[in-house]
Structure 1
């Protein structure tokens, strides 16, 4: 169990509880088009309502950079949230001023109030102490339920926790507990799958994982950089040749740590990157100068399946090929279905995260079979990199 303070331990009856949620939801023409993040906040809000708290919701929307931008108002979120909750949700077009203070003072036990976009205040992203203190005057207790914003040291994610008793909400707890289960205290062996286009975006992730996991499979475009570093000619494939030394250092670190690092040994190649071009299946050692590696081949998928069959924990971040462009989704979809089968049968704990990863698993139709899928994006990646997240540290 992670050493954070949890909302279940807080005395909240009759108290004003500031809850940082993630309501940065997709909108079109002023209407919410995907309410996934609203639903994620419901367990904590319902817990507080039943406990007789006065729940004051804090959230950001978009990047207004400290200015009032009408299109980035949180007002359109209030009614969809109320519909999901089955109870009214009031909205105040203010953050720390007199209107917000009055709206909070008018609340009764069990009420829910949504405050205007915290990023309308310049002090939010600057984590200005005065802004954090002003926020704290709206509440008696602080709850952070937005893991996706926990990697930011902002006024509503970290600063306010210095002024009030601070606890993790139920969604935050679920995220942290699953990530700890996968990486900090996993059942071994642990297999990690890391894909994506570029090594440059995931250097710290790879450096951390080789010290944490038993088997690391690298796929996608980033595998080409590692293959190149080993002296393999990857033809016209996406490859960061200037990172060859970095790639060799990662390979050496894996060997030193006793981590088995698996790279593709066969590939689906093409001379054009478009849907359904003419393709060729070949060894990675036989790629022509005008060919691009765009997906892993069947021998690689089989080797990966064997590694996963011997695992107790699987962590996934990033697609294994150019999955958005058929037929280069084959490796990602096949591997995803294999992981899902193992997780559904209770053979492994399967945790995945990252925007492209979630899209790929949804495309494979297996997202519901994974033990846990994080939608936290940057916060998920920074946790996997071994970094301390300000919003989590404030709850310890």
Structure 2
């Protein structure tokens, strides 16, 4: 990995470390619904604590009106943490043994604009910059791209692991299986095309496959379809590409299992069927490496059975598996199955962009 790594740094004692993290967690009222991304940063915090560094956390939330105060209180359950509402009040960072979490960076327009003056103000708070926010490193924002140019900079422990494990997809152990579900057809279908010569088998499901079926002239009724610029119906003919054998459909509140060719115009495809899951199970057991991104069904609306079945198949499998994507990771976290996967990525869009381009703006910034 051709980027400077935090684990290789020696003298961090009493240094002010600006640690970019991604605490863009789901918040409902006064409740953090999933703290997966918070827990994943704890090893880096422990490392820095062990080196006697002062830690200042920088994060955003996708809701530009959402304060991170609740996140600070939650993090305090794991490690002594104080919330800083006024980021540039230098008197707020007085205790060396306290981790400080700054307010939502997106309260400041300079963050998303990659504003150099805003980055300079952030740089004045620290001596060293560490990026441990791989999941947002596809964004050309000030704390990701401009800030590391102003300070000695390193990739954090989680960032290092993300790049290491995701890079295995480029030269995977054989035989390998790529599973693409969920949405984002405009990103995932070009990825499927790119990996035709890399992966031994590619399964396309979720709403992504609806686009291919629609282009090929299949009746998919009221199913969700994303428009894309290129035609991908040729994937149907590729011997290494697998698509659902059967689907779960809904009509007037009633749910049933059908073959694709039997779907009617007033029906809606919402999940993969049991035959599809059975076929996937066989493919997984025969594979040495599986990369999975995206749920198989309309997960957020209760059509989760195929995705949960797939999680349980992986839990009983010895196949090396790397997984990512918002709904997929949320399901794995919800059912407490993280330990059964070799690596669970925090990245969604960042993961897909890295697989497509082998780099990200945040990675390039650390190389300079």
CA distance in 2, matches of 1:244, 1:79: 45
CA distance in 1, matches of 2:174, 2:104: 43
Once the two structures are superposed, the pairs formed by residues 166-315 of structure 1 within 5 Å of their partners are 166-181=153-168, 183-197=169-183, 199-200=185-186, 202-231=188-217, 233-238=218-223, 240=225, 246-248=231-233, 250=235, 255=238, 260-272=240-252, 274=253, 277-279=254-256, 281-315=257-291
Residue pair 1:194, 1:219 contacting (<8 A) in 2 also:
yes
- 1:267–1:303: structure 2 CA closer, same or farther, 3 Å change rule? same
Once the two structures are superposed, the pairs formed by residues 110-149 of structure 1 within 5 Å of their partners are 110-149=97-136
Q: CA deviation at 1:325?
A: 5.5
- 1:365–1:43: structure 2 CA closer, same or farther, 3 Å change rule? closer
Match of 2:314 among 336, 339, 345: 339
Residues 138-197 of structure 1: per-residue CA shift (max 9 Å, x gap):
21111111122211121111211101111111222222222123x133212220111225
Residues 56-106 of structure 1: per-residue CA shift (max 9 Å, x gap):
221223443xxxx5xx33334334323311x3x34433223xx22x444x4
Residue pair 2:110, 2:118 contacting (<8 A) in 1 also:
yes
RMSD: 2.9
Structure 1 residue matching 2:101: 3-state secondary structure:
strand
Report how many residues are paired.
366
Q: CA deviation at 1:7?
A: 0.8
Once the two structures are superposed, the pairs formed by residues 343-358 of structure 1 within 5 Å of their partners are 346=318, 348-358=319-329
Structure 1 residue matching 2:7: 3-state secondary structure:
helix
Unaligned runs of 5+ in 2: none
CA distance in 1, matches of 2:225, 2:37: 36
Match of 1:95 among 39, 64, 87: 87
Q: CA deviation at 1:292?
A: 3.8
- 1:311–1:140: structure 2 CA closer, same or farther, 3 Å change rule? same
Structure 2 residue matching 1:191: 3-state secondary structure:
strand
Residues 25-63 of structure 1: per-residue CA shift (max 9 Å, x gap):
344555655443332222212211211112122122344
Match of 1:83 among 62, 77, 82: 77
Residue pair 2:186, 2:227 contacting (<8 A) in 1 also:
no
CA distance in 2, matches of 1:30, 1:37: 18
- 1:115–1:318: structure 2 CA closer, same or farther, 3 Å change rule? closer
CA distance in 2, matches of 1:241, 1:32: 31
User: Could you tell which deviates more after superposition, 121-130 or 202-211?
Assistant: 202-211
Match of 1:322 among 298, 304, 307: 298
Structure 2 residue matching 1:22: 3-state secondary structure:
coil
Residue pair 1:229, 1:244 contacting (<8 A) in 2 also:
no
Residue pair 2:18, 2:58 contacting (<8 A) in 1 also:
yes
Match of 1:3 in 2: 2
Determine which structure has more spread, i.e. the larger CA radius of gyration: 1
TM-score by length of structure 2 reads 0.86
- 1:207–1:44: structure 2 CA closer, same or farther, 3 Å change rule? same
- 1:122–1:290: structure 2 CA closer, same or farther, 3 Å change rule? closer
CA distance in 2, matches of 1:285, 1:308: 26
